[in-house]
Amino acid sequence: MQNSKTFLLVLLGILAAFGPFVTDMYLPGLPSMTVYFDTTASMVQLGITTAMLGLGFGHLLSLWLFIFSTIACICSWSIGAFIFFRFLQGIAGAGGIVISRSVATDCYGGKELAKAFAMISAVNGLAPILAPVGGGVMLKFTNWLGIFVFLLFLGVLLLLLCLRLKEPLPPERRIDVPAFSSFRTFLPLFKKRRFMDYVFIQAFVFGMIFAYISSSPFVLQEHYRLSPLLYSLCFAVNAIALIIGTTLAGRFRHIRQGMVTGVIGSFVLAVFTGLTLWYEMPIAYFETALFLNLIFGGLVLPTSTALALDSERQNAGAASAVFGAVSFLAGGIVSPLVGIGNILHTTAIIMVVSSAIAVLMIGGKKNAASTT
């Protein structure tokens, strides 16, 4: 018995949106969580860090872990327990996009596979926009715990859908591979200079973007006094800037040209964004600089990914895993740092420094190329 097309599309859509909803939906509730747990902004932001680390390294565990960890987040008795269970939640949520691609590959071929991947990419792009908006709307009727109850419902629904999924591959095409044997292909990649340069360029730009993402609930809600709903809408508008950047990336004749333009532009705009934060300028100045900054950041994400994976075609799967893990690790490291001291000043410093290092790495690659 085969799976229906409607069922597969629903399943693939939810799987693709799973990871972004885990990391982004509770962002509007961060300020209220500092009060609930009687802790600092930096400690609450570790919930983003641990979820990001889980997303980076957790593609092999099952949905039951997500359900367990979400219940544990709801019942957390301290901020330390919450941070730990968010890490488990991130591990479980990480499999969504990977599973969706695997299911699509097993179930479709040719043009149908291309359409399925297009749908997955569209959902994966829209989910980070819709998740905070949904979280902001929910906070009008409930508190941050209600957001996690919704995530629990989403996890149970996804588990039921996966249990209903029929194995699409015939027995003769199924291959049993020891899970840990795949890790042998990871280590040599860290020795590939060209590949790792692209990995770190994206990681530092990703760090700059996550400095904004992790500080945004406090900057926009506490400093600029936006309501959770207005914050969510503002977050959605800023996410559109990233989509514009990723779309423009395809307009460049040479991929590297797009990456270099994005890195330099994001540094220049990071300086302007940092100045608006440092001198506490009106929100219109901050939003304008940030929006343009994110457009250039959006240029870097697809171009650096394409260049990195193109340099390691023979190990594309492992290269993709390493690339994603390092980027999520960078975002996870940055998230709690912005909460140290004056959050406006710290965010400004991290955004400028991260983007400046990416520029230096571009210069280093040019010098290396000229001497070879």
Asked if 86 and 191 sit in the same domain, the reply is: no
Asked if 70 and 163 sit in the same domain, the reply is: yes
Asked if 237 and 349 sit in the same domain, the reply is: yes
Within-domain flag for 178: no
d(CA 54, CA 87): 5
Asked if 130 and 238 sit in the same domain, the reply is: no
Within-domain flag for 106: yes
Please list, residue by residue across 299-318, b when 16 or more beta carbons sit within 10 angstroms of its beta carbon and e when fewer do. bbbbbbbbbbbebbeebeeb
For CA atoms 76, 79, 80, 84, the dihedral sign is positive
d(CA 191, CA 241): 34
d(CA 170, CA 209): 43
The whole-angstrom distance between residue 208's C-alpha and the CA centroid of its chain comes to 13
Asked if 163 and 191 sit in the same domain, the reply is: no
Within-domain flag for 3: yes
The count of domains in the chain is 2
Which of 124, 144, 169 is the last residue in one of the domains?
A: 169
Asked if 134 and 274 sit in the same domain, the reply is: no
Write the CB contacts of 205 (distance below 8 Å, at least 6 apart in sequence). 262, 263, 266, 297, 300, 301, 304, 354, 355, 358
Asked if 198 and 254 sit in the same domain, the reply is: yes
Per-residue pLDDT of the chain (372 residues; tens, 9 = 90+): 455 666 666 676 677 666 667 766 666 777 777 777 777 665 665 555 555 444 444 443 457 778 888 899 889 888 888 888 888 777 776 666 556 655 665 566 555 655 665 566 556 656 766 777 788 888 888 888 888 898 888 888 877 877 776 655 555 444 454 555 556 667 788 888 888 999 999 899 989 998 998 888 889 988 999 988 888 888 888 888 888 888 888 788 888 999 999 999 999 999 999 999 999 999 999 999 999 999 999 899 888 878 887 887 667 666 776 777 787 778 778 877 888 889 999 999 999 999 999 999 987 655 554 444
Asked if 197 and 66 sit in the same domain, the reply is: no
d(CA 321, CA 323): 5
78 Rama sector, left if φ>0, alpha if ψ -120 to 50, beta otherwise:
beta
Within-domain flag for 179: no
> Are the beta carbons of 299 and 267 closer than 8 angstroms?
no
Within-domain flag for 12: yes
Within-domain flag for 62: yes
> Are the beta carbons of 212 and 335 closer than 8 angstroms?
no
Write the CB contacts of 349 (distance below 8 Å, at least 6 apart in sequence). 274
The confidence score (pLDDT) of residue 174 equals: 45
Within-domain flag for 181: no
Asked if 226 and 371 sit in the same domain, the reply is: yes
Within-domain flag for 26: yes
Q: Which two tokens stand for residue 292?
A: 């343009």
Q: What is the CATH number of the domain that holds 334?
A: 1.20.1250.20
Asked if 285 and 140 sit in the same domain, the reply is: no
Model pTM score: 0.71
Asked if 144 and 215 sit in the same domain, the reply is: no
Which of 169, 199, 233 is the last residue in one of the domains?
A: 169
Which of 109, 137, 169 is the last residue in one of the domains?
A: 169
DSSP letter, residue 223: I
Q: Which two tokens stand for residue 164?
A: 């209903």
Asked if 196 and 150 sit in the same domain, the reply is: no
In which domain, by residue range, is 57 found? 1-169
